[in-house]
Amino acid sequence: MKFGIQVNEGPYQHQSSDSAYQFTKAALEKGHEIFRVFFYHDGVNNASSLTIPPQDDRHIVDRWTALAKEHNLDLVVCIAAAQRRGMLDEKEAKRQGKNASNLAEGFRISGLGQLIEAGIQSERLVVFGD
């Protein structure tokens, strides 16, 4: 089965991010395809390269990055939600006149059209969080 995944909650404020990661990982291990993982609302915080959890805690951003590398996943961050929360890639930082970017490796910024496409191209769109 081909899945699209939508993550609406941040990495440490709600179980949704962990659940989305575990679901995605399990689906891939069972041979399913993940068309795209789309991070929306506070879910864009899963893509922050500035996240530094305590040493004894899980590093959700690094988990997504490693999973994306291993399975060639398309991790897309909503541009509008990202900008509201201070998330920028190098291109957007330059375009907005900012001197830094903070998008973690493996993620890319794009628009809501990517979420619509995921819904169309996937057999199921699974949403994690409100």
State the CATH number of the domain containing residue 32.
3.40.1260.10
Beta-strand pair 75-78/124-128:
unpaired
Mean pLDDT, residues 7-21 taken together? 95
For residues 81-118, one letter each, b for 16 or more C-beta atoms within 10 angstroms of the residue's C-beta and e for the rest, the string is: bbeebebbbeebbeeeeeeeebbbebbebbeeebbebb
Q: What is the per-residue pLDDT for 41? A: 97
Q: Which two tokens stand for residue 102?
A: 């903070």
Burial of 1 (0-12, 13-18, 19+ CB in 10 A): exposed
Mean pLDDT, residues 81-92 taken together? 95
- AA identity, residue 17: S
Q: What is the per-residue pLDDT for 13? A: 86
- The half-sphere exposure of 83 on its side-chain side, counting CA atoms within 13 A, is 13
Q: Which domain holds residue 65?
A: 2-128
* Number of domains into which the chain is organized: 1
Q: How confident is the model at residue 36 (pLDDT cuts 50, 70, 90)?
A: very high
pTM of the model: 0.96
Angle between helices 16-29 and 60-71 (to 10 degrees): 20
Which residues are designated catalytic? 78
